[in-house]
Structure 1
């Protein structure tokens, strides 16, 4: 059996094991959530905090999606038509920062200090924002 035939057979077996690949809505393709893609960022739609936790912002609501929890936080959102983040009293911004590998990545930084923000979860699973002592190097616009 050729390699192509093996891959086709394997793909068919995987689809069969997952219910055949059809959908209950008559075969319409389901779309994944649409996130904002950050211009100049090598990470596309991914946004990091100081420790490197990964987030994204929905294109329609501008609200945070937390990859660690798989949840949207509808109270942690970008202000309309901006890169400014508001979450309770916290104000931050999404800016491209120089990553350790030399690329630029979108990150959430504190607007007051310019330091990285650290987004952690409290005992109830809610995002809590702490400003770190780490000051990122911003990428040139």
Structure 2
């Protein structure tokens, strides 16, 4: 019975999405209500998942590309938005060591949105291309 109810609920959700395609968020686009929180050309990091907690924003004008930028000691990020036109790699290590986890988020027009990093981000690099 539970499977039937779940399948029926998913079917209704799929029909609702198909009937109203403008309500769907395209891949890589900003989640509803988040666009104003990270401006074009910025890399924004949040201390907690789902774009909550304290937020920091970084622009290319204040950074050296391809250089490791550590977050302040004792701080980390768990959600991010890359609205730069360049790829950004985040690191679990504060020294951008590749012995810990790291992930690269592409730079593209509308931005790359990651509501939950698989690790605590302690540093990042913005690449030339």
Query: Is this a same-fold pair by TM over 0.5?
Result: no
User: Which structure carries more strand by proportion?
Assistant: 1
Structure with the greater relative contact order (CA < 8 A, sep ≥ 6): 1 or 2? Answer: 2
User: Which structure carries more helix by proportion?
Assistant: 2
TM-score normalised by length of structure 1: 0.27
